[in-house]
Homo-oligomer: A and B are copies of this chain.
Amino acid sequence: MSVCSGSTARGGLTLRWTAGGDHSVVVGSRDADRGAEAATRYERRLDQHGYDGVVTGTDNVTAAERAEVVVCSVPAYHLADTVESVADALDAGDVLVSPAVGMKHDESGAHYNRPGAGSVAALAARAAPAEVSVVGALHNLAAGPLVDLDVDLDWDTLVVGDDDDAVDTVVSLADDIDGVRPLRAGPLANAAEVESLTPLLINVARHNEGFHDTGVTFE
């Protein structure tokens, strides 16, 4: 799998999947050298925590070529451009995962900034080749705890997508992150409500003591 480009979640996802043992993660960046540097940094972090995982780093296009699942971990406003930049490297049957959330912040707090396409995941689906399945997932995992392998996670994450096989693949990948439970939220048309959860978490963190980096569980 590849985790492309450089949002704060890229490191956490890479570390958690590599520490889990069974996944080979290729880190992508717009610049191959920076991708390689990030990979070295992540390997050092794994080593510090007693894991001997291997992380490869390269440019986004090469990362996307190598992977069957591409997690496009970039800010929402870079998502379409990033997807288009790797589109030729994606094969039929590849899965593109969108964890991005469009937000705007004002004095009241964080707000979901719904794109005209209906959701950020729908935006990714528009930018991706037709034969690639887009799945929305992994939006609501706070970057701080995610990247810190000493922190035990206990979070649910929601998965939306139109292609059942692709959704199953991503559910399984999310399930491989220790302490993360994937739940299905239906087709891509339901992505907006999933993406809206992230600004809500930010507002809850801001207005309640002890809820910094909060996650959510359904029961």
Residues of A whose CB lies within 8 Å of any CB of B are 106, 108-112, 154, 158, 183-187, 189-190, 192-194, 196-197, 199-201, 203-204, 206-208, 211, 214-219
In angstroms, how far is the closest chain B Cβ from the Cβ of A137? 13
**B111–A192 CB distance below 8 A:** yes
In angstroms, how far is the closest chain B Cβ from the Cβ of A121? 13
A172 to B131, alpha carbons, bound, how many Å? 52
Q: List 29 A-B contacts (CB under 8 A).
A: A108-B187, A108-B190, A109-B189, A110-B190, A110-B193, A111-B192, A112-B192, A112-B196, A158-B204, A183-B207, A183-B208, A184-B204, A185-B203, A185-B207, A186-B207, A190-B200, A192-B196, A193-B199, A194-B200, A196-B197, A197-B197, A197-B200, A201-B218, A215-B218, A215-B219, A216-B216, A216-B219, A217-B217, A217-B219
In angstroms, how far is the closest chain B Cβ from the Cβ of A152? 12
**A193–B203 CB distance below 8 A:** yes
A109-B190 contact given A183-B208, A216-B216, CB 8 Å threshold: yes
Closest 9 CB pairs of A and B: A108-B189, A184-B207, A196-B196, A193-B200, A109-B186, A185-B203, A108-B187, A109-B190, A214-B218
Who on chain B is nearest to A214 by CB?
B218
Residues in chain B near residue A199, CB distance under 8 A: 190, 193
In angstroms, how far is the closest chain B Cβ from the Cβ of A170? 14
Residues in chain B near residue A158, CB distance under 8 A: 200, 204
Who on chain B is nearest to A206 by CB?
B186
In the complex, which of the residues B106, B183, B190, B208 contacts A184, with contact meaning CB atoms closer than 8 Å? B208
A208 to B112, alpha carbons, bound, how many Å? 25
Scoring A109, A190, A215, A217 by chain B CB atoms within 10 A of each residue's CB, the highest score goes to A190
Residues in chain B near residue A197, CB distance under 8 A: 193, 196-197, 200
In angstroms, how far is the closest chain B Cβ from the Cβ of A194? 6
In the complex, which of the residues B106, B208, B218 contacts A216, with contact meaning CB atoms closer than 8 Å? B218
Scoring A184, A192, A207, A217 by chain B CB atoms within 10 A of each residue's CB, the highest score goes to A207
